[in-house]
Structure 1
Amino acid sequence: MKFTKMQGTGNDYIYFNLFEEQISDPSSLAIQLSDRHFGIGGDGIVLIGPSDTGDFSMRMFNADGSEAQMCGNASRCVGKYLYDKHMTRKKEIALSTKSGIKHLQLHIDPETDTVKTVRVNMGSATTESARIPVVSALPEVIDQPLTIDGDTYRITCVSMGNPHTVIFTTGIDGMKIEEIGPKIENHPIFPERTNVEFIEIIDRDTLKMRVWERGSGETLACGTGACAATVAGVINNRCNSNVTVRLKGGDLQIEWDQSNNQVYLTGDAHFVFEGEI
């Protein structure tokens, strides 16, 4: 079975082309192959296939085998994969995901005719508690306290097709995210668990972020998380609607068009290596 390892802002996945391969149990495969000691190593696996509603489809499975609705960094890599491997010559691709159609705009390097960056229309953000979902008597959870083991966090909950909990704080470099992240991810108020973003405000145009991803643990980047953090920052009047989000794996450019509630993500995409297993 052939695979391609790719990364976007350090968020690395193992990609399979369903036009050439058949995968019957992607959850078990994700657990096996994502292991960085006994497998290929990655944050999960991504399946690229046909679509009845878009140009192509993407399914993404986390390192623990759970299926995610959407991944912004992986979608950029899918765009590069499709163009650079000549599966399409389109520079605008409608990609079908579990959270709906995402539109990719490919930025091509004219000298190499390869994808340099990708701008993704990530769709609408929502803060409605029931749609995230988060169990709360409030219609929206914005800058509300959440106490765990005696520690209180001010949380803002946002869905980008998958659930996010954004916490504005300081000193995130020294934070013990491996201890705090799982407690919030698996808290009972999140019936489908949650991704957790810890955000430090650099200035109104720049956010610094560490992320604990649902099902994968801490990763170097999370595209939907960067989008959720930007929306939460605007709602809490902490940042502007067009910002640079600095992550461990690099920078992402996020723009929230509030007039039509569309969030756009722009970032890199890279091949790492290919192989057969």
Structure 2
Amino acid sequence: MEMNFTKMHGLGNDFVVIDAVRQHVSLTPERVRFLAHRRTGVGCDQVLLVEPPADPQRAAFRYRIFNADGNEVEQCGNGARCFAVFVREAGLTEATVIPVETAAGIITLQVQGDGQVTVDMGPPRLEPWTIPFEAAAAAPTHTLQVGGETLEIGAVSMGNPHAVVVVEDVHKAPVERLGPLIERHPRFPRGANAGFMEVVSRERVRLRVFERGAGETLACGTGACAAVVSGQLQGLLDRQVAVDLPGGRLVIEWAGREDAPVLMTGPAQSVFTGRIQL
């Protein structure tokens, strides 16, 4: 099978984006791993698939995400911004407000005049069974035993599960050591993305994220959303927060109510197009 693809990135979080509207595409975990491999394939953190929607009355497209390990996951915020730019550059739509289906539900993408993309990620999920996370009840923080240490984490789902740890210095945070342990912790039955957040002020944080199935990435959109939600729930952050990731800055806004959507704004960029034999 030969197919066209586009390489894109959002703050260095990179993707292979595939149009499955105008070409037949059959992805298997093996094919995803081949595409994602940085020496023998194209190289990326995630593979994004653009498909026709199951319900055209509610959405313009279906958006599917596959991690570099071949597993399909529920949500990817940086990928969502790339998705919005891709469908417009590919001539699939001229709309600036684009509702799309994901495994986590409908999200809305809005392309701004300056090229930035705002994603309505929907409300955060805080009840443990919705994350999923094993705990008796929702709380701003939970105690987690990890690698012989006791951590205080915020547990949040933005359509995918996140554990957020507040640290004094994000540059010295034990991301490589604790990230994989949190990712596979038994209290997260579907795994977790591990975020390490340094609070600079009530309006700014620094963040590193060890992503489930991908390792540490230069940026994680859902991780930035989860970090701001967790920081607000702990009384550390204001409504709008600049999140500085290794790849650049996202702006996250949340009104602080469980029913309020989390809004994420940031850039997305195409790098090159190609054709590959699978």
What TM-score do you get using the length of structure 2 for normalisation? Answer: 0.94
Answering whether residue 133 of structure 2 is matched by residue 128 of structure 1, we say: no
Give the match for residue 10 of structure 2.
8
Contiguous gaps of at least 5 residues in structure 2: none
Paired residue secondary structure (2:121): strand
Q: Percent identity?
A: 40
Give the match for residue 267 of structure 2.
268
Once the two structures are superposed, what CA deviation does each residue of 1:195-226 show, in whole Å capped at 9, x if it has no partner?
A: 11000001000010000001101011111111
Cα distance in 1, alignment partners of residues 26 and 275 from structure 2: 17
Q: State the number of aligned residues.
A: 270
Answering whether residue 108 of structure 2 is matched by residue 103 of structure 1, we say: yes
Cα distance in 1, alignment partners of residues 225 and 20 from structure 2: 29
Displacement after TM superposition at 1:141 (Å): 4.4
Alignment counterpart, residue 187 of structure 2, candidates 152, 174, 189:
189
Task: Indicate if the aligned counterparts of 1:60 and 1:69 stay in contact, CA closer than 8 A.
Answer: yes
Once the two structures are superposed, what CA deviation does each residue of 1:155-183 show, in whole Å capped at 9, x if it has no partner?
A: 11001111100000122212332221111
Cα distance in 1, alignment partners of residues 174 and 272 from structure 2: 32
Answering whether residue 25 of structure 2 is matched by residue 23 of structure 1, we say: yes
Give the match for residue 82 of structure 2.
77
Displacement after TM superposition at 1:239 (Å): 0.7
Displacement after TM superposition at 1:103 (Å): 0.6
What TM-score do you get using the length of structure 1 for normalisation? Answer: 0.94
Task: Indicate if the aligned counterparts of 1:141 and 1:155 stay in contact, CA closer than 8 A.
Answer: no
Query: What value does the CA root-mean-square deviation take over the aligned residues?
Result: 1.2
Q: Which amino acid aligns with 2:132?
A: P
Q: Which amino acid aligns with 1:46?
A: L
Paired residue secondary structure (1:12): strand
Task: Indicate if the aligned counterparts of 1:31 and 1:44 stay in contact, CA closer than 8 A.
Answer: no
Paired residue secondary structure (1:230): helix
Displacement after TM superposition at 1:21 (Å): 2.6
Give the match for residue 236 of structure 2.
238
Cα distance in 1, alignment partners of residues 197 and 167 from structure 2: 6
Cα distance in 2, alignment partners of residues 82 and 23 from structure 1: 16
Task: Indicate if the aligned counterparts of 2:167 and 2:173 stay in contact, CA closer than 8 A.
Answer: no
Give the match for residue 113 of structure 1.
none
Give the match for residue 206 of structure 1.
204
Q: Which amino acid aligns with 1:177?
A: V
